[in-house]
Amino acid sequence: MPEVSATIGAGRYAPSPSGDLHLGNLRTALLAWLFARASGRRFLIRIEDLDRARDAGSAERQLDDLERLGLDWDEDPVRQTARIDAYERAIARLEEQGLVYACTCTRRDILAAPTAPHAPPGAYPGICRDRTPTERAAAAQAIAPRMPALRLRVPEGTEAPVFTDRVLGEVHGDVDDLVLRRGDGTIAYNLAVVVDDAEQGVTQVVRGDDLAPSTPRQILLQRLLDLPTPEYAHVPLVLGPTGARLAKRDGAVTFAELRAQRFTDAGVRALLGRSLGLAAAGEAVTTTQLLGRFDPDTLPREPWTWRPNRSV
């Protein structure tokens, strides 16, 4: 096993505590751990609990599941709700550069606005971007007591960052005037993740490939905040029997449900190991054994489909 090195930084898994981890989340967590450990990195867990719709107790259950899976981590997990000051400092840095503006738009305002030619689909159409201070004050007054959101003013002429993903290869995406802080005061995911990864010394981000389209925005924020860009590996999702992304409607999919119905902890680990081509059917494997067999270059590139009724 490679020696843990302080200089090449850390990998991480960053679940949102909105419910129990299902096979897809567990597989991504295992991959994040394998990628980090195989490269000699430290491994961290971050609880992304900024969203108000969180499920009390689910962070603890998630950590318990990760431990049962056989993962270990090198520091106490960090909770984003304990780090609001760091996000506000980053917003202040952007503000000093004239890169933040208040936005009073509702979703409906955005949908109703004409889209600029060549604007990427779903991009913010810039309604509030060029308001004068007087217009801005009037717009804020008009939505009170609701508060304006804060958006990033993407500098004119900015090219969307292109990055080379360990799994997907070259990824192109779009950037727009993304939200930094929502009208209800919640810090936006894209900002929090960039600030946290940098401060935690994360040099490798492994996560589901549904998040690949957010990455150019995050790289832009890193550049504007003078923060390093980590290596990225966006890994395939797990699909349910209908071919759609695995979800609760697919029956027993969380660790607790699988444990209650048919698997031991080691059985879930074996199943995931097998899905990655790292274990034989029913083989009892430890995470250390999986690590010994893991090669990022031979990782299956297609989504894995979970069929609850097949034998494993």
Binding-site residue ranges for L-glutamate: 12-16, 48, 189, 207
Instruction: Give φ, ψ of 150 to 5 degrees.
Output: -115, 135
Segment contacting ligand GLU by CB under 6 A, of 13-21, 69-77, 104-112, 149-157: 13-21
Q: Is 26 in the site for ligand GLU (CB under 6 A)?
A: no
User: 48 vs 231, which CB is nearer to ligand GLU?
Assistant: 48
Distance between CA atoms of residues 113 and 68, nearest Å: 49
- Which two structure tokens, joined as six digits, stand for 172? 């192109």
Query: What residue type is assigned to position 222 of the chain?
Result: Q
Nearer to ligand GLU, 110 or 211 (CB): 211
Is residue 15 close enough to count as binding ligand GLU by CB under 6 A?
Answer: yes
DSSP one-letter code for 187: B
Nearer of residues 105 and 167 to ligand GLU, judged by Cβ: 167
Residue 45 or 291: the one with the smaller Cβ distance to ligand GLU is 45
Tell the smallest beta-carbon distance from residue 284 to ligand GLU (Å). Answer: 29
> Which stretch in 10-18, 51-59, 100-108, 234-242 sits in contact with ligand GLU by CB under 6 A?
10-18
Could you tell me the smallest distance in angstroms from the CB atom of residue 252 to ligand GLU?
21
For residue 121, is it left (φ>0), alpha (ψ between -120 and 50) or beta? beta
Question: In the bound complex, what is the minimum distance in angstroms from residue 202's beta carbon to ligand GLU?
Answer: 10
Q: Does the footprint of ligand GLU cover residue 193 (CB under 6 A)? A: yes
* Site membership for ligand GLU, residue 207 (CB under 6 A): yes
Considering only the stretches 14-22, 106-114, 118-126, 153-161, report the one whose residues sit in contact with ligand GLU under the rule CB under 6 A. 14-22
- Nearer Cβ to ligand GLU (125/201): 201
User: Of all residues in this chain, which one has the CB nearest to ligand GLU in the complex?
Assistant: 207
SS3 call for 10? strand
With the C-alpha atoms ordered 38, 206, 69, 301, is the resulting torsion angle positive or negative?
A: negative
Q: Does 16 bind ligand GLU (CB under 6 A)?
A: yes
| C-beta of residue 64 within 8 angstroms of C-beta of residue 256 | no
Closest approach of ligand GLU to the CB of residue 312, in Å: 26
Of 10, 14, 212, 271, the one binding ligand GLU (CB under 6 A) is 14
In the complex, the smallest distance separating the C-beta of residue 182 from ligand GLU, rounded to whole angstroms, is 16
Contact between residue 77 and residue 47 where contact means Cβ atoms under 8 Å apart:
yes
Number of residues binding to ligand GLU, judged by CB under 6 A: 7
**Distance between start and end Cα atoms, the chain:** 28
Which segments are annotated as binding site for ATP?
248
**Overall residue count recorded for the chain in this entry:** 312
DSSP secondary structure of 131-180: --HHHHHHHHHHHTTSPPEEEE-PPTTPPPP-EEETTTEEE-------EE
Residues 39 to 78 in contact with ligand GLU, rule: CB under 6 A = 48
* C-beta separation of 253 from 22 below 8 A: yes
Binding residues: 12-16, 48, 103, 105, 124, 128, 189, 207, 248
**Which residues inside 236-265 make contact with ligand GLU, applying CB under 6 A?**
none
Residue 183 CB contacts under 8 Å (≥ 6 apart), including other chains: 143, 146, 147, 148, 149
Kindly state the helix (H) or strand (E) to which residue 45 belongs, with its residue range: strand 42-47
Residues that bind ligand GLU (CB under 6 A): 14-16, 48, 193, 207, 211
